[in-house]
Structure 1
Amino acid sequence: MNDLPAMNISAVERDTGLGKDTLRVWERRYGFPQPTRDDHGERVYPPEQVERLRVMKRLIDQGLRPGRLFAASAEEFAELCHACASPRRNDVGQGDPLIRQTTALVKANDVPALRQLLHQAMMRLGLQRFVIDVVAPLNDAVGDAWMSGEFEVFEEHLYTEQIKSLLRQAIGNLPAGGGTPRILLTTPPDEQHVLGLLMVEALLALDGASCISLGTQTPLADIRMAATAHHADIVALSLSAAFPGRQVGALVSQLRQMLPATVDLWVGGAGAQRATPVKGIVLLPTLQATLDALETWRQGDH
């Protein structure tokens, strides 16, 4: 950890998902983080503080309040990490041999064996069941392993890159989509997690929808222009648990107002659970909900 470079406040914001304003407020109110200053007087954050901020962001996403985390002793903080990780880890299949094998191969840094294991699982189950029954619980298990200290950051990244590569290959091997609806997929600014987007694209493309992916962090004005340029029937936005919860409602409402009334707006991912249901916006908290929404759209009068 001490060999890693310190980060400026913009880099910390990108790395942790915590906004600059939040970092400054915590510094004033709680005395943490405690950045040093560079030659220009700008905040610089040591790597060990950045690591703790990453963990805190995950705990807050699990529903814990910042004040409780700052008041906790080192032992209490470790217990909170374990308590948030353990219940779900039991639920998502630590008893599942595939999850156990995957996490073991990630820990062993055995990339060829990891690729083979995941590829064989996809071939055996088919793309839809692989995404819903394997990738989704694996994401939870790997995230929990990171929070509990079982995985290092680079190990989580290693897993994520293998899944992304596999899904992109699978999507590329599907027949060219010419069916309906035409769905524009992306994430808004400040949302850099692409895995959820790929999972949804795989399911929709497999079901015959025409998918146009813009990747991540597309400005809202560009989403509107792209929807028009591609004659999209639907704009599908992916929001992870790391997306700032306070921004969800305003962002979704703003995008809804910017899009033509003829274009549906779907909002999926863990971040969608923070959005308030309003007319003209379809919230998709689960992958199955995405498939259900696709079926509902096709049954409608379009």
Structure 2
Amino acid sequence: MTNSVDLDVSALMSIAAVERDCGLAKDTLRVWERRYGFPQPLRDAHDERRYPADQVAKLRLLRRLIDTGHRPGKIVGHSMEDLLALLRGPEAHGPEPESPAAREVLARLAAHDAERLRDFLAALLTRTGLRAFAAEIAPQLAHAVGAAWARGELEIHQEHLFTEQFATVLRGAINAALGAGAPRDRPRVLLSTLPQEPHALGLLMAEAMFVLEGCRCISLGVQTPAPDIATAARAHGADILALSFSAMAPAAQAQAGLAELRAATPAAMEIWAGGACPGLRAQPGVMVVRGLDSIGPAVAAWRLRTGSSQAPR
């Protein structure tokens, strides 16, 4: 139950501010409040929820742990100390070790140096190549930044800065690959996420892997209504409709959205779903692709099934 008190709310956060800061939807906050007894917001004079700083800090940790695969019901009741221990890993006695690249990224974020951060990421991409950058480096750096944010070492604007600079560099590399002159025809892949799924990096990393396999990709970006995705997929003659779901995506909502898309698209158009959503599962006419490294073999299998001779780059 929430508390109604007379207080100075200037130091407290509204539910909208918590949603922006923690990346947890308002509906999720309300459900946790009812189901798990946390958070326990106060109420202002207008009966609006207001969240103290200690609760917001714990919500940040919870979101990060859910991003790594933990289930809310198993961790919401844990103390901050226990949550930090989970974030560091069972064998850790201090902050999780970070790669040299992650340490460099965190240092440039701490210095608020967007230009040098972008230059470093671009140099890293050149050194490792697009495939390793998208499939291996990107998840490692995103985890390190998210963990630092959850520990309170970075502000939300610094996490957003990383996301934007990383996306800029990765998008540039994808465009360069598309402009390299390799023939691209089949499969035609339309990529997007459903509403309430704002995480764009996973979608962009998947696009990079499809491009490396010689696919023709059309990205609608994030948070596209299912009817619009279906309309676009038909308009572009997509062979594959690829949807990304982060660990924060409610499993029931993800499954319902996939079922809606399956019903609204031609049977010959395949629907592939991927991402860290723990409840994501195959259903009739929908294939789950586990991991970015699985995209290449899945595309090769599609070409065998359909008799397409289009070769990867």
Same fold (TM over 0.5): yes
Q: Is the 8 A contact 1:23 1:33 kept in 2?
A: no
Q: Is the 8 A contact 1:17 1:244 kept in 2?
A: no
The match for 1:242 among 242, 248, 257 is: 248
Distance 1:60 1:291, change over 3 A: same
In the TM superposition, what is the alpha-carbon distance from 1:164 to its structure 2 partner? 0.6
Change (3 A) 1:122 1:270: same
Identity across the alignment (%): 40
Give per-residue Cα distances to partners, 1:246-288, cap 9 Å, x unaligned.
Answer: 32222222322222101100111112x4222234222122110
**Alignment-derived partner of residue 99 in structure 1:** 102
Q: Do structure 1's residue 264 and structure 2's residue 270 form an aligned pair?
A: yes
Task: Call closer, same or farther: CA 1:162–1:55 in 2, change over 3 Å.
Answer: same
Compute the TM-score of the two structures, normalised by the length of structure 1.
0.83
Residue deviations 1:219-244, cap 9 Å, x none? 11111111111111010001111212
Q: For 1:221, give the aligned amino acid.
A: P
2:306 and 2:139 mapped to 1: Cα distance?
32
The whole-number CA distance in structure 2 between the counterparts of 1:98 and 1:156 is 16
Q: Deviations over 1:106-160 (max 9, x none)?
A: 2232323222221111112221121122112211222222223333322222211
Matched, 1:147 2:158: no
Q: Distance in 2 between matches of 1:301 and 1:64?
A: 38
Shift of 1:193: 0.7
> Which whole-Å CA distance do the structure 1 matches of 2:284 and 2:264 have between them?
14
Q: Which residue of 2 aligns with 1:63?
A: 70
Deviates more, 1:218-227 or 1:15-24: 15-24
2:281 to 269, 276, 279: 276
Note if contact 1:224-1:258 (Cα within 8 Å) is conserved in structure 2: yes
Task: Quote the Cα distance in structure 2 between the aligned partners of 1:135 and 1:183.
Answer: 21
Between 43-52 and 128-137, the greater mean CA deviation after superposition: 43-52
Higher helix share: 1
Alpha-carbon distance in structure 1 between the residues aligned to 2:91 and 2:262:
34
Classify the secondary structure of the residue corresponding to 2:195. coil
Q: Which residue of 2 aligns with 1:32?
A: 39
Matched residue, 2:59 = 53
TM-score normalized with structure 2 length: 0.81
Task: Give the length in aligned residue pairs.
Answer: 292
Query: Counterpart amino acid of 1:298?
Result: R
Aligned residue for 1:182? Answer: 188
**Aligned residue in 1 for 2:209:** 203
Please say if residues 60 and 66 of structure 1, whose CA atoms lie closer than 8 Å, have aligned partners that are also in contact. Answer: no
Give me the whole-angstrom Cα distance separating, in 2, the residues matched to 1:227 and 1:202.
19
Q: Are 1:84 and 2:87 an aligned pair?
A: yes
> Secondary structure of 1:274's partner?
coil
Residue identity opposite 1:115 in structure 2:
R
Taking only aligned residues, the RMSD between alpha carbons, in angstroms, comes to 2.9
2:127 is equivalent to residue 124 of structure 1:
yes
**Offset at residue 59 of structure 1 (A):** 3.3
Amino acid at match of 2:119: Q
Cα deviation code 1:201-228 (max 9, x no counterpart): 1221232211111011011111111111
Report the Cα offset of residue 98 of structure 1: 2.0
Give 1:64 deviation, angstroms.
Answer: 4.7
Unaligned runs of 5+ in 2: 1-8, 308-313
**1:193/1:4 Cα in 2 relative to 1: closer, same or farther (>3 Å)?**
farther
The 8 Å contact of residues 125 and 133 in structure 2, kept in 1 or not, is answered as yes
Whether the aligned pair in 2 keeps the contact of 1:85 and 1:145 (CA below 8 Å) is no
Shift in CA distance, 85/148, structure 1 to aligned 2, threshold 3 Å: farther
**Structure 2 CA distance for aligned equivalents of residues 294 and 67 of structure 1:** 36
| Residue type of the alignment partner of 2:170 | L
Q: 1:102 to 1:3 in 2, by over 3 A?
A: farther
Partner of 1:228: 234
Provide the rounded CA distance (Å) in 2 between the counterparts of 1:89 and 1:96. Answer: 15
Q: Aligned-pair distance for 1:38?
A: 5.9
Q: Rate the CA distance shift 1:38–1:184 in 2: closer, same or farther, 3 A.
A: farther
1: CA distance between counterparts of 2:90 and 2:165? 26
**Alignment of 1:212 onto 2:206:** no
Residue pair 1:89, 1:141 contacting (<8 A) in 2 also? no
